[in-house]
Amino acid sequence: MWAFHTPQPTQPPSLFNPPRTPPKLPSSSLTLNPSISNSTPNHNQLIQSLCKQGDLKQAFKLLSREPNPSQRTYEVLILSCADQNSLSLAQSLHSHISENGFDQDPFLVTKLISMYAALDSLDDARKVFDKTRKRTIFVWNALFRALTLAGFGEEVLGLYRKMNRIGLPSDRFTYTYVLKACVASECMVSLLNKGKEIHAHILRHGLEGYVHIMTTLVDMYARFGCVAHASFVFEKMPVRNVVSWSAMMACYAKNGKPFEALELFREMMIETRDSAPNSVTMVSVLQACAALSALEQGKLVHAYILRRGLDSVLPLISALITMYARCGELELGQRIFDRMEKRDVVSWNSLISSYGLHGYGKKAMQIFQEMIHQGVSPSPITFVSVLGACSHAGLVEEGKKLFDSMCKEHGIHPSVEHYACMVDLLGRANRLEEAAKIIDEMRIEPGAKVWGSLLGSCRIHCNVELAERASHRLFQLEPHSAGNYVLLADIYAEAEMWDDVKRVRKLLETRSLQKVAGRSWIEVRRKMYSFVSVDEPNPQIELIQSLLIKLAAEMKEKGYSPQTKVVLYDLDESEKERILLGHSEKLAVAFGLINTKKGETIRITKNLRLCEDCHSFTKFISKFTNKEILVRDVNRFHHFQNGVCSCGDYW
């Protein structure tokens, strides 16, 4: 445990602005120089004026002729060096400050650390800190902030322990930085525990009234996926602002709880009539609409954005493009993109991933090339998007060329996400040995994403040998992920290796792991409905069941054959068929047929991969009922119309 100390009762006036006190100069500097007369011009005001005008070089020339630079002059020069991104001038200024005896001034030390952080020179920032003899809380905070923003979270926590050992009390800003440090690098369990310790200290000292501290706590728990903890903190907050509401909504939206995110947004609109949601809030709301394929609610949010005049905020416009694409309205997303006066790489990424999600790999490639042609440099996420698009469309050779171009043409070294895309690309195309070779030749640790891509591909093509190799590593890397065990059991079942199926199921039981239940959502008349199984209470469940039985019988006469192999139990065929009719997406389809008008598209979202039988069943339904059905599973969109799916049975 860390040794914590009670914070000072007085609060600083601002983040990095301690009271300006003149530095203690060396005794020699107190002796008046007789060569300097009282008529020596004071250049401090002129230097500051030149800095504000952006003429930093002229300001430096004048600085060399100023015998007594003030603290304020040095502060303005420091800020100007950071603004003009000049490390060489910053280092020259630092030397000048040291020569004039200001290098131990805590106020200027905080400014120097922040300057070096802004110039991406953390080594210089650390040196400033190390050479400072009297470190106030402002000096510590400045370094905590610099290191946290750069992703050195564990270093911050180590320094924080040191600060507590010497007995320096934290202030309210210290807590925000050390909480952010817990999630600045990898979200490890050990760092979550540190975050909980800091949370306990905050409560012990009655600091829960500071809204920015509690909002940071919400965000920390959200990033670790601890939704219940984040919700508890949020509910207990005595005061909330728009940032607090936004943080909790983002927590729900990014952790698989879009229903809760939309409900919280409604609650916010009722409770906070005086403070309107900002663009960050609306991004989370759009993400929730996208996750549920809630098109009608998404359109209402879009209208609100237009009324508020937020339609020029780039992150928000990118979220709109994604929302429409994930709701099946790719053309609307394209139209928004076309009307954008200014586009950044995030906007391009949104459009590329949108086409990839719908299986239009070649179109995604064209957009990527157009982006390059317009002088927009791709980001690592760009390549994740375009490689994913190639994977869904089976564009293996194109994907391989793109992967090779990352480092050679764009100076981007492949990360674990990019390798996972390549393994998925090759695996889906049944080039599993080639995918395994890529893993063997990786220069970085493959990690769970890469092995998960290989295991998923083995499930598609029933490759037992490679599945066992991938699952062995996954059981070590993700011992509590039930999905990996289920996938392996699926593969054994398809290979009719029933003893191995029982063995894997036994592992699930002994480790108290539960399979993620298949869930499907459908929007009807701006209201969302969720389906898990036939056992769930629903006023129309009997009508849904009878419709499914009737449709299945009639479709069998037209050639539909239930894919009973997806039922991983050694049962007779009739019992397997009964189980298949209870799949959540079939229930959602039947509900849509009952409750939508003629010509109205049925839109469904599924939290898992669409099984082979549901895919075949929905193709028949679309032709049999002359209905357009859009289903988005965890991987991509399936556009069913007239008995054909847009994926070409490649998913």
Taking only the tens place, the pLDDT of each residue in 112-122 is 999 999 999 99
Grouped pLDDT means (10 residues each) for the chain, 651 residues: 41 42 40 39 87 91 90 95 94 94 94 96 96 95 95 93 93 94 78 92 90 95 94 93 94 92 92 82 95 92 93 94 95 96 95 94 96 95 96 94 95 95 95 96 92 94 95 92 91 90 90 86 89 71 91 90 81 87 93 92 91 92 93 91 88 74
Question: For the purposes of burial, counting CB atoms within 10 Å of the CB of 246, is it exposed (0-12), middle (13-18) or buried (19 or more)?
Answer: buried
H/E element, 568: none
pLDDT in the model for residue 18: 46
Residue 523 in 3-state DSSP? strand
CA nearest to 34, candidates 78, 67, 58: 67
What tens digit of pLDDT does each residue of 573-632 get? 888 888 899 999 999 999 999 999 988 999 999 988 888 999 999 999 999 899 999 999
Residues 607/516, Cβ–Cβ less than 8 Å = yes
Q: What is the CA radius of gyration of the chain?
A: 30
Strand partners, 640: 629, 645
**What residue type is 436 in one-letter code?**
A
Residue with tokens 């924080």: 160
pLDDT in the model for residue 41: 61
Residues 534/541, Cβ–Cβ less than 8 Å = yes
pLDDT in the model for residue 27: 37
CA nearest to 247, candidates 273, 214, 203, 274: 214
Q: How far apart are CA 422 and CA 428, in angstroms?
A: 10
Question: For the purposes of burial, counting CB atoms within 10 Å of the CB of 101, is it exposed (0-12), middle (13-18) or buried (19 or more)?
Answer: middle
Q: How far apart are CA 163 and CA 160, in angstroms?
A: 5
DSSP notation for 215-257: HHHHHHHHHTT-HHHHHHHHHH-SS--HHHHHHHHHHHHHTT-
Residues 143/159, Cβ–Cβ less than 8 Å = yes
Residues 7/202, Cβ–Cβ less than 8 Å = no
What tens digit of pLDDT does each residue of 319-361 get? 999 999 999 999 999 999 999 999 999 999 999 999 999 999 9
pLDDT in the model for residue 6: 39
